[in-house]
Chain A
Amino acid sequence: MQLTLGPVLFNWSPEFWRDFYFRIADEAPVETVVVGEVVCSKRSPFFLKHLPEVVDRLAAAGKKVLFGSLILVSQPRERRQTVELTEAEGVTVEINDLSCLASLAGRPHAIGPFVNTYNEATAAYFVRGGAERICLPPELSMPSVAAIAAALPDVVVEVFAFGKVPLAISARCYHARVHKLSKDNCRFVCEQDPDGLAVKTLDGADFLSVNGVQILSRACTNLLGSVHDLAGAGVRALRLSPQKCDMVEVARVFRDVLDGCRDAEDGIRALAPLYPDAPFADGFLHAIPGFALAPRLASRASRRAT
C-alpha cells in the first residue's frame, strides 16, 4: 500500500507552503505528492515562485509528483490555467474536472477525488484514456470501493484516508460572503483560516469548515482502522490530505500501521494528539452519515467476548 499526500486545499502563506513541502520531501514516508492550487484560481499566483524549488526537492527525494487541476473551471482565467497545465512539459496531471480529459487522452495521468468515479464502468473509461491512478470520491462506501478495485487490478485505486473531507464546491466564495466582501475583491481573507473557518450549528455543534469556494467537513476522516480491509479489497494507495498539523508524523503513523509495526488501535491513539482540533470520522466508508465514526469491529468483538 502506497501513501499519497494530497494537494494543500487551504490558503497557506507561500513561505509556510514551501517549508511544508520541503519537510515532506525530507522526512515524510509518502510515495506520491500532489501539488498545485485546486480550490481557487485567484490563489495560484502566490505559490508559483516557490513551485519549481518545491517540485525539485520532492523529486530529488524520490517522490512521484502530480499536478492537481482546478476543481471548478468556469472563468476564462481558469480555463487558461487548466490548458497551460495540460500543455506543460514533463508534468503528470491529476484531473479534478473533466475539462482537461480530452487534451490528456493517451498520456499517462491520474484522476482526482473531485471527478465522479462512482463505478467500475466509469473508472474503466478513464483508464482507457490513459489514467494510471484513480483517487475515488470520498463519499463512496466499502462495497463500491471494492467493486471498482476488483474490476481494475492494474490501476492504482486510491482512497481518501485522512483529513477534513471536501464536501462541496461553489462558484460563490463563502469566506468573502461572511466577511461581507465581493468575490472579485476578496482581499484573500481565506488566508486567516489556514485550517478552514469553523461553521457551527446554532446550538453550538461542530458542523462544517469553509475554505473559500469550498466546503469541507469539520470532522477529520481517519481510515486507519480500515487500512487492512482496504488493502484486502485491492486498494493500492491511501490519500492523506494536508491539515495544519504534523503531517510528517501522520504519515509515519499510517506507514507503521500498514507495515505492521503497530496495530490500528495504537495508531489511532497516536493520531489523536497530532490533530486534537477535529473529531475523527469514517462514516462514508461504512455507508453511514459521513460525520459519524463507525463502531470498530474489534471493539464490538471484544464486547461480545466479555
Chain B
Amino acid sequence: MGKLRINIGLLAVSATLLTGCMGIETQVVDELQLATAAGFKHIKDDEIEATISFPVFLTDKTVKNATLTATDTLNKELRDRQNLKSEKPIVSGKLEVILFDRQLAERGFFDHLDSLMRDPSIGSKVFVVVLDDDPKDVLSKQYGNKDTGIYLSNIIQQNIETGLIPKTNLHLFTYNYYAEGKDPAIPIMAQSRDGVGIRALGLFKHDKLVHQIEKDELFFYKVLFDSNSSGETMAIKFNEDKKASIINVESTRKYEVLQPMSNAEIKIKVKAKMMIREYNNGLLNKDKMKEMENFIKKRFEEKSAELIQQFQQKGTDPLGIGEQVRTRTRNWDKKKWDELYPNIPITVQAEIEMIESGLIN
C-alpha cells in the first residue's frame, strides 16, 4: 500500500506540472476589451457594418466609451477585422445589447443571430433591439458616466421591470422565432434630444420587421400579452380638456377558444383593476369613477380589437393566439392555421374596475 501511495503522490505532482502544457488561453480581465454592445448596419447586399462599443476604464475612475467599426459579410469575420484594429483582444462575454438598424431588420437578421447563438460566451439574456438610427452614430456617443452598451441595456431593463414593455431578450426572440403560432416582438430604439429611448415595439414575421406598436398603444398590447400583468400606464382623453392618467394594478387575461382550428370566434377576456394617477376634470366622485370605468372599457375593447386586426392584416402573431389554439387542439396544422389566422374574428371583452384614486378625490 505504501508503494502505491508514493506512486499516486508522484502522479499527482506530475499532473500539477502538466497543467502548464494544457494549451489553455488565459484571459485576464485587464488585458481584454469587453464589448458591451454590438450594432449591425446594412450596407449593400450581404455586406454589413458592425460597430462594437466597449468601456475604457481611465485612471481617475471614470469610464470612457470607445467603439470599433468594420465591414464584412460574416459576423465572426467582423470580429477578426475589429481585432486587427484593437489594442487588446476583443471578447464578447459581457455583451449586453445587440442592435440592428431598421433596414437590416426589414431584410431579416436571423443569420446574424446564428453566430451569437453558437458562441457559448454569449448569454441568452442579451437584448436584441432594432435601432432607427445609424448604430455607429449611437454607439460612438457617450451618455453619462457609462459606456453606451450598459446605458442602453439599463434603459431596456428598467422599462421591463416597471412593466412598460414586455420581457425581451435573445432567448425569447429565438423562442418566438421557432415557436408555431407566435412571432417575435422586440423594442425599437431611437435617438432623441435627451439621449436614446424606446420608441415603439417592432413586430416580426419570421425574422423580418413588418409592423410596429406605437408608444401609446403599448398599454393595450402589454395587458393583452401577459396572462398576469401590472404596472402599465395609460393616458386617456375624454374630450379636449378632460384628461386622466391611469395605472394597471393587476390584470388577468384569458382566452376562450370554442372551436379551435376553425373560423369560429376567439374571445380574449381581460379583467383589470386600475388606479387613477392624475385627473383634471374637477372632483372625482363615484359617478365619475363609474363613467370612467365604462369609458376605459369601451376604449380598451376598441383599441385592442384594432391592434389585433392590424396584426392579422400583417400576418404577424405577437400575442401568440396561434399558440393558444395549438395547445387546445389535437389536430394542429401550422399551414392551415396560417391561412385561417387573418380571417378569424377575434374579440376582446374587458372588465375594468377602478379600485383607488390616490390621496385626494
Q: Do A and B come from one complex?
A: no
